[in-house]
Amino acid sequence: MNSTVLDIVIGLVFIYLLYSLLVTTIQEIIASNFGFRAKILQRAVFRMLEDDNKFNSKFRSVLYLFKKSGNGGEKNSTSYEFYKHPLIRFLGESDCHGKPAYINKETFSKVIIDLLRGDQVNPGDDIKLLIQKALDEKTTSWGNAKISDETVSYLKSIWADADGDIKRFKGHLENWFDETMDRASGWYKKHTQFILFFVGLTIAILFNVDTIKIVDKLEKDPKIREQLVQQAEEFDKAHPDLEKQLFLQKAENEKFLAQYSKKEVASNKSLQNKQSEDSLVTVNYLNIQARKDTLLNRADLMMKNDIKKCNDVLGLGPNSYDGITRNLGTFVSALAGWIITALALSLGAPFWFDLLNKLMKLRGSVATPTSDNKEKQQG
């Protein structure tokens, strides 16, 4: 590969990396503020416990993420009683984000069995008869909610597979939950990709990150190419753990189900009074606030350091719009450049970091003729 072309590609990939880091951080701030994970989890619970088609439309599905958290479903529905259960309710973050973002499979199976056997169960009661009665009547014993036809059919199926054994039934419920959470991870990833594009487009327009114009500058000005490649090298050396951080962040985003530690589960099960509930809600709220502060600080540092240096070299930023509206052709070219940038940023920082590393290694492997080689070539 020609060294000039390689340097142009490295410069462009480095810009995409910096801005994709910013876009990903902003997307995480939005997801945290609107409780995306809690809403995707709620959608999964609806899918399991209701005959519901409210998410058939992709637009409505995305729009749902920005709506205020609902009450867990319609009254007298299984999902409504599921979210009213103390074990679920106490996992909520706050009044604004009242639904938990994470539920483990043991919690799910415990709550479903509680709903079927009822809240008035006593030691020594025949749990099998209570569960069978609830399934036959298609009504939960806890809250007297109607169980949807599809859900009760599936519950009857795994109850029969378990031969009425509570432990085996619990295992089937947990497998069902795990399979649904795998699908929920896919939903979250698709929604994130969609939102990343629009956040990326907004950032591209605000900072005038026009891919077409940037390539033109890199092609014509060797000094800019050299400065950007040097910045890329310095960035790579200054962030030796970035690959690991991006991997962990990607894993966190894609793994929708978070397993609580035994200590946390035991703490949740021991919640018996309002003081305990308030304590857990406070801890959850503080954790969410700490996460938001971390993301805001990260975005602020990127804006003040690496992105600012990059913008100074390329002349990007809010004050770089001269001539864009001069004529229709110039504006269309800029719009195309912004869209290309947005599409690139939606691929995510891990993709661009991995590509940048490969390109830097390729550049380092390009043989630079030594003085001896030069003499041999001249001889």
Summarize pLDDT for 158-216 with one digit per residue, the tens. Answer: 999 999 999 999 999 999 999 999 888 888 888 888 899 999 999 999 999 999 999 99
Which CA distances in Å does 168 have to 130, 173, 259, 331, 334? 16, 9, 21, 64, 61
Per-residue tokens: 235: 């960035």
Helix (H) or strand (E) run with residue 302 in it: helix 274-304
Per-residue tokens: 140: 């939960």
**3-class DSSP state for residue 146?**
strand
C-alpha 64, offset from chain centre = 15
Residues of the chain with pLDDT under 50: 95-96, 256-286, 367-379
Check residue 267 and give its pLDDT. 38
Check residue 291 and give its pLDDT. 56
Q: Please state the pTM of the whole predicted model.
A: 0.73
Check residue 53 and give its pLDDT. 63
Crossing angle (nearest 10°) for helices 105-117 and 127-137: 80
Check residue 276 and give its pLDDT. 42
Q: Give the pLDDT confidence of 209-236 residue by residue, as tens digits.
A: 999 999 999 999 999 999 999 998 888 8
Q: What is 159-196 written as a DSSP string?
A: HHHTTT-HHHHHHHHHHHHHHHHHHHHHHHHHHHHHHH
Report d(CA 86, CA 90) in Å as an integer: 6
